[in-house]
Structure 1
Amino acid sequence: MMEKYCALCETEFKIPDGGEENKLSDGGVLCNNCLERVSNINEYIPYQLEWYSLSHIQETIKYNLRSKSSEEEEVPIVKEEEKPIEDIPAEPTKDDLIFKDYKKNKETFKQQIEESGAKLSMTMRGELKQLPHVLDDDERIVAATECKIGDTGEGLLVVTQKRMLHVEKFILSKASFKEVLNEDIKSVTWNVSQSISVLSVSTNKGAVPFFFQPYQITEGSAFYAKIGIIYNKPKPKPQPKLDFNPNPLKKDNSQQIFGWLERLNVLYERGILTEEEFSKQKAKFLNEI
């Protein structure tokens, strides 16, 4: 039976708090606020939450509080005018500027995901950090969700005006990416099941399936509703071919007219027709083409 209260702060869960992804090794479940609090202390805990018990989480928080307290005691108070010259911040280096741009883009993409209405778990923190490394500065995320691709683990699936991108990041391992350009996507379909629901993306090179767990059906359906508008546009009806020949009968008689011109030429060469008669009859037939 699913827990109704957070094991750490003991507050009652509110949807979508308390999912299976927030479960501890001893069976307790954390709310999203507590999980975020713990991840700010150690960003790797959400990836291995099933390895930690409630006592481990409590010790992590206590240790962090003690460390902060000791740091505050050791920091000397220095008056502004007594700061040494070498403590004045230097001009930003190229690496500083790159990090600044990365941080700015990360916050921008995070805000775009929130504006899209997507509700991501704390386990997607690693995937979120990878987005500035892959997406262009001018790309805008219009939809996002969590799902699997193939037999791999959970990852982050985002859609921009340029592509559909799946990002997967495990602890102490390189991130993996799977992308499909929008111009290569023919259509998308959403098949809901009690066990595993599938979002199938039809491309020029075949179908690409994305798998959703039962507790992800609501988010998956909302994601499909957004991207279906983009990828399932109605195909334009074929336009009827227009015949620009003002007189279709003339097209049918063209071969017959050319036959008469050949006969006129023979009569002219034999001297039966004069040059004036030949030219007059030739012009008459040519006007019929």
Structure 2
Amino acid sequence: MNNNCALCNTELTSMDTLLGANTLSDGNVLCNKCLNKLSDINDELLYNLNKFSIDDLNKMLSADKIEAVPAVAIAEQNLPAAIDFSSHQISKEVYKRRHQKIKSELEMLNANLSLFTKGEIKELPYLISEEEQIIAITDAQFVNTLATGVLVATPKRMISVSKGMFGAAKINDYPNESIKAVSFVTDSRSPIIKLHLDERMVEFECFMDKEDAEKFYDRIKAIYNSPREHSSKQIDSVNKNIPVSSEDIFNQLEKLGKLRENGILTDAEFAEQKKKLLKQLQ
């Protein structure tokens, strides 16, 4: 197998050749950048790349240059005049405006999304208005599922979007008031982001890019974990100013232990609070 991209001739990376995903019918291989560029012309390349040869792709590129049609326009010509989503209708003009805004926000965030999330990104203009800003986004799927997806954070909510190869997108909306805390489980292959809701916990696996998942968590933890930080400050205040009985201290330790078990406190945060409480017993 050639170690260079059949189109741009750059050296292929391990992500380009993962499971042979970028292999053409004639055995040539594309890099992810070229596949991304071509999929803007023809979405089928994302799902059936092995049906196309390098000659087919060169013809696509030549035809696209002759027609001089922007990639976004090609995607939008198949849109109906108005799209009904969750009782909201938007025109092609509104979709285009929202799409451009979202694209700019993702560029400002240096979003490192995989090619497999293109379908999910196309759903976002239906979900996010011009007034709502994306503050963080990453590849994330529900644990123990095969569908790819994205997890999006805005100032007022978090949204998960997953879309199979065929079929409708699955949308889950988590308003800020329903999220009690967020936590991050480190793993060298598939870290997990947890949303701690009122009566349940939702887990998302981030298997595409561990560092990007950590960056996402760093952006949102201050928003959703501030109540916990406030509670920690209250504990500090109690430790410094009010006499505490041994029973109260052991009750506090038990609560801290549960917070750590649920993933709301890290081991380091638990150890720090435990140390402060145990000092009261001396």
TM range, normalised to the smaller chain?
A: 0.5 to 0.7
* Match of residue 64, structure 1, among 60, 66, 70: 60
Q: Alignment partner of 2:140: what SS?
A: strand
Q: Percent identity?
A: 28
1:71-104 deviations in whole A, cap 9, x for unaligned? 79xxxxxxxxxxxxxxxxxxxxx85982111101
Q: Which residue of 2 aligns with 1:31?
A: 31
8 A Cα contact 1:110 1:128, kept in partner:
no
Larger Rg: 1
Deviation at 1:152, TM superposition (A): 3.8
CA–CA separation in structure 2 for the residues paired with 1:166 and 1:22: 28
Deviation at 1:164, TM superposition (A): 0.7
Deviation at 1:122, TM superposition (A): 2.6
Report the aligned-residue RMSD. 3.3
8 A Cα contact 1:38 1:57, kept in partner:
no
Q: Structure 1 length normalisation: TM-score?
A: 0.63
In the superposition, relative to structure 1, how do residues 24 and 68 fare at CA in structure 2: closer, same or farther (>3 Å)? closer
8 A Cα contact 2:181 2:196, kept in partner:
yes
| Number of aligned positions between the proteins | 212
1:14-35 deviations in whole A, cap 9, x for unaligned? 7x97373883246865323311
Deviation at 1:136, TM superposition (A): 3.0
Q: Which residue of 2 aligns with 1:132?
A: 125
In the superposition, relative to structure 1, how do residues 65 and 28 fare at CA in structure 2: closer, same or farther (>3 Å)? closer
In the superposition, relative to structure 1, how do residues 208 and 196 fare at CA in structure 2: closer, same or farther (>3 Å)? same
8 A Cα contact 2:161 2:169, kept in partner:
yes
CA–CA separation in structure 2 for the residues paired with 1:194 and 1:201: 20
Q: Alignment partner of 1:111: what SS?
A: helix
In the superposition, relative to structure 1, how do residues 153 and 142 fare at CA in structure 2: closer, same or farther (>3 Å)? same
> Which has the larger displacement, 175-184 or 164-173?
164-173
Q: Which residue of 2 aligns with 1:218?
A: 211
CA–CA separation in structure 2 for the residues paired with 1:58 and 1:197: 37
Task: Please list every run of at least 4 consecutive aligned residues from structure 1 whose deviation after the TM superposition is greater than 4 angstroms.
Answer: 25-29, 65-72, 94-97, 236-240
CA–CA separation in structure 1 for the residues paired with 2:39 and 2:10: 19
Q: Alignment partner of 1:144: what SS?
A: strand
CA–CA separation in structure 2 for the residues paired with 1:37 and 1:230: 35
8 A Cα contact 1:7 1:28, kept in partner:
yes
Could you tell me which runs of 5 or more consecutive residues in structure 2 were left unpaired when the two chains were aligned.
69-80, 84-89, 239-282
Q: Alignment partner of 2:230: what SS?
A: coil
1:30-82 deviations in whole A, cap 9, x for unaligned? 32331122112212322x2xx433x824133233256468879xxxxxxxxxx
CA–CA separation in structure 2 for the residues paired with 1:22 and 1:225: 33
1:40 aligns to 2:36 (yes or no): no
8 A Cα contact 1:168 1:175, kept in partner:
yes
Deviation at 1:192, TM superposition (A): 1.5
In the superposition, relative to structure 1, how do residues 68 and 230 fare at CA in structure 2: closer, same or farther (>3 Å)? closer
1:8 aligns to 2:4 (yes or no): no
Q: Alignment partner of 1:225: what SS?
A: helix
Q: Alignment partner of 2:5: what SS?
A: coil
Deviation at 1:182, TM superposition (A): 1.0
1:123 aligns to 2:116 (yes or no): yes
In the superposition, relative to structure 1, how do residues 111 and 229 fare at CA in structure 2: closer, same or farther (>3 Å)? same
> For residues 52-201 of structure 1, what are the structure 2 equivalents within 5 Å?
52-53=49-50, 56-65=52-61, 67=63, 98-150=91-143, 151-201=145-195
Deviation at 1:139, TM superposition (A): 0.8
1:106-140 deviations in whole A, cap 9, x for unaligned? 11012112212221123222111111111233110
CA–CA separation in structure 1 for the residues paired with 2:139 and 2:30: 19
1:190-246 deviations in whole A, cap 9, x for unaligned? 112234321111111211100022x51111111111111211111255599xxxxxx
CA–CA separation in structure 1 for the residues paired with 2:67 and 2:182: 54
